[in-house]
């Protein structure tokens, strides 16, 4: 094959390879999404700071929330729990969405979280037609001196939740993976009904 023809063929292969790479490479936004977050089905928030602020305000109003876990048979289980929020760091708009749950080590949710740490928290305001769902990863803590855990209990709560403190101490920490929110200023999509979503960095 003449040199000029070989060069032309090589250029065709290079261009075709580059086109194939672009077609199959993940989009820039997908590459930044943590593994396991269903980015393709989420509706990204048009104004993430505003959605986070509205969701946080709702979470502060709704202190008793629904916690969904999965049992050993794969059955989703839901119950009401008292939620305690980590403080907000003004320099980090996404902070303050880690939730702590006080419970007893004899409850079923403790073992369910240990087996299947993916959980969902559901905060809602029926009067305001608003809700915030946090899909997160839960961790069971049994050290009463854990610095973050200590922010959320006092002597009165110790007596109620852990009569044999510190031996029976247990708290569940839920770190958010993504959040979905619907409210008066953040309506769902007209066609799909999907709420606006914010994905958190891991």
pLDDT above 80: residue 176: yes
pLDDT for position 7? 36
Predicted pLDDT at 91? 81
Is the pLDDT at 35 greater than 80? The verdict is: yes
What's the pTM? 0.81
Find the mean pLDDT for residues 129-145.
97
Closest CA to 139 of 173, 175, 110: 173
The fold of 43-199 is Pnp Oxidase; Chain A (2.30.110)
What would the mean pLDDT of 62-72 be, rounded to a whole number? Answer: 96
Percent of the chain surpassing pLDDT 90: 71
What does the buried/exposed string (b/e) look like for 71-92 if buried means 16 or more CB atoms within 10 Å of the residue's CB?
A: eeeeeeeeeebebbbbebeeee
* Domain boundary assignment for the chain: 1-33, 43-199
For residues 171-200, average pLDDT: 93
Tell me: pLDDT of 1 over 90: no
Residues in the chain, how many? 202
pLDDT at 202: 66
pLDDT (tens digit, 9 = 90+) per residue, 70-128?
Answer: 999 999 999 999 999 999 988 877 789 999 999 999 999 999 999 999 999 999 998 88
51-79 mean pLDDT = 96
Q: Which residues contact 77 (CB under 8 A, 6 or more apart)?
A: 68, 69, 70, 71, 108, 109, 112
Residue 121 phi, psi dihedral angles, 5° rounding: -110, 140
Confidence bin at 31 (pLDDT 50/70/90):
low
- Indicate the range of 23-27, 78-82, 165-169 predicted with least confidence: 23-27
Q: Is 145 exposed, middle or buried (0-12, 13-18, 19+ CB in 10 A)?
A: exposed
Say if residue 12's pLDDT is above 50.
no
pLDDT exceeds 90 at position 14: no
């Amino acid at each position: 094959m003449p040199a000029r023809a070989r060069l032309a063929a090589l250029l065709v292969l290079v261009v075709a390879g580059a086109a194939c790479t672009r077609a199959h490479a993940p989009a820039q936004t997908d590459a930044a999404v943590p593994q396991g977050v269903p980015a393709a089905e989420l509706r990204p928030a048009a104004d993430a700071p505003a959605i986070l602020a509205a969701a946080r305000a709702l979470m502060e109003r709704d202190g008793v929330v629904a916690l969904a876990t999965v049992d050993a048979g794969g059955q989703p289980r839901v119950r009401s729990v008292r939620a305690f929020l980590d403080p907000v760091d003004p320099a980090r708009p996404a902070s303050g969405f880690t939730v702590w749950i006080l419970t007893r080590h004899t409850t079923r949710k403790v073992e369910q979280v240990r087996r299947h740490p993916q959980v969902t928290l559901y905060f809602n305001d029926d009067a305001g037609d608003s809700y915030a769902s946090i899909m997160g990863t839960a961790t069971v803590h049994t050290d009463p001196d854990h610095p973050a855990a200590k922010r959320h209990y006092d002597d009165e709560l110790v007596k109620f939740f852990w009569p044999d403190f510190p031996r029976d101490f247990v708290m569940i920490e839920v770190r958010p993976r993504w959040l979905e929110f619907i409210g008066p200023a953040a309506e769902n999509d007209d066609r799909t009904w999907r709420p606006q979503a914010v994905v958190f960095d891991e």
